Amino acid sequence: MLRYEARSAADPATAWSLVSEPERWHEWSPHVRGAWGLGEPEVRRGARGAARLLWVVPVPAKVTAVSEGRSWTWAVGPMELDHRVHPDGAGGSIVGVDIRAAPAVELVLRVTYGPVVALMVKNLARVAGQKALGR
């Protein structure tokens, strides 16, 4: 499993809203330009749909698990991605994305998509913190 996380000044509810609402993904993940069929306003377990990447490419996905306010998982191509939010014990939160795939696929993802996910998670933490401060 590949694991990426960052600490945010945002409370968990603020971070969760950004992570769980497809209409808000573009606020912290610039390469995701929309999604449909995955739940509204929040992702819904069992929902099938797609995310639009790079303004053009629709990527089919299925939401496989949701733990309200804490995490959700989707299957996208050969991988599963867990999006999670946890309190940090100091009023903020820890946001993260974990990627699971076959070992050979994880090896490729570690050097290709992994750095992108690491940046997205840091951006999520920053944007959530700004939203919590009213910016």
CATH for 69: 3.30.530.20
Q: Does residue 135 surpass a pLDDT of 80?
A: no
Q: How confident is the model at residue 131 (pLDDT cuts 50, 70, 90)?
A: confident
CA dist., res. 10 & res. 55, Å (int): 28
Residue 83 placed within a domain: yes
Q: How confident is the model at residue 118 (pLDDT cuts 50, 70, 90)?
A: very high
Sign of the torsion angle spanned by Cα atoms 33, 5, 69, 125: negative
If one counts the domains in the chain, the total is 1
Report the pLDDT value the prediction gives residue 34, as an integer from 0 to 100: 82
Residue 39 placed within a domain: no
Which of 31-35, 117-121, 130-134 has maximum average pLDDT? Answer: 117-121
Residue 40 placed within a domain: no
Report the pLDDT value the prediction gives residue 53, as an integer from 0 to 100: 84
Instruction: Kindly state the greatest CA–CA separation across the chain.
Output: 43
Q: Which residues touch 123 (CB under 8 Å, ≥6 apart)?
A: 28, 29, 30
User: Residue 99: phi, psi to the nearest 5?
Assistant: -115, 130
CA dist., res. 99 & res. 82, Å (int): 7
Domain that holds residue 70: 2-29+65-132
Residue 127 placed within a domain: yes
Mind listing the pLDDT tens digit for each residue in 68-115? 999 999 999 899 999 999 999 999 999 999 999 999 999 999 999 999
Mind listing the pLDDT tens digit for each residue in 34-80? 899 999 999 999 999 999 888 778 899 999 999 999 999 999 989 99
Report the pLDDT value the prediction gives residue 133, as an integer from 0 to 100: 79
Tokens 């698990």 locate to 65
Looking at residue 89, the DSSP 8-state letter turns out to be S
